[in-house]
Amino acid sequence: MDHFAVWIAAFLTMGIVSFLYKDNPWYKLSEAIFVGISAGYWFIALFWDSIYSKFWLGKEADPFLWVGVFLGVLMLLRLIPKIGWISRWPLAFIVGCTSGLYLINFLASNLMRQVQATIQPLFGPDFGASLYAAVGSIVIVVGTFSGLVYFFFSKEHKGAFGATAKLGIWFIMITFGASFGYTVMSRMSLLIGRIDFLLTDWLGLIR
């Protein structure tokens, strides 16, 4: 069974990798299996974890939960074109929930906490912080402020304002570069994992 599992995984892995050469039937087969399996996975996971656990998991279900089921069924009406417009009601519910939640959460965490984390004393009461940390704090204040100035488009980027915006774009470019480098590293580590699987588990070339 283990050998069979390894061969299946290797067959599918090579199928996806074959796309690097060109689009081909092996890739299309692996891709179709991936689409079907992942759709099935989420279908089942949401049934057991979201629906079953709320209604049947050995406890009295709150009757108000059926309103959620009703809204969910309305969502499925989208599959019937003639009455598909009713699916806007559950969609409006989802959009309302997300808007209300984001309005508060982003205001509290992304705005207030980030501002609070930026405005920090350079040194502690006993001047305990290192020069390294103090310089870092200045870099963060200057970078955050100039980055925000760059995003302010209601005033033309000229003079001192333009120079600050220019500094802001430099910081944003460093952010993009560092994030890009990080993404490349994570993809590379996934690739190394797959190559390691092929060479170790499948072909047995590395022991």
Site for other proteins in 18-57 (CB under 8 A): 19-20, 28-48, 50-52, 54
Encoded one letter per residue, x for contact with other proteins by CB under 8 A and - for no contact, window 60-89 reads: --x-xx-xxx-xxx-xx-xx-----x--xx
Of 24, 175, 199, 200, the one binding other proteins by CB under 8 A: 175
Minimum CB separation from other proteins for residue 144, in Å?
Answer: 5
Question: Which one, 129 or 145, has the nearer CB to other proteins?
Answer: 145
Residue 77's φ and ψ, nearest 5 degrees, are -65, -10
Minimum CB separation from other proteins for residue 195, in Å?
Answer: 8
Question: Which one, 90 or 125, has the nearer CB to other proteins?
Answer: 90
Question: Which one, 8 or 125, has the nearer CB to other proteins?
Answer: 8
Q: Are 172 and 150 in contact (CB under 8 A)?
A: yes
Question: Which one, 85 or 124, has the nearer CB to other proteins?
Answer: 85
95 touches other proteins (CB under 8 A):
yes
Of 83, 117, 163, 203, the one binding other proteins by CB under 8 A: 117
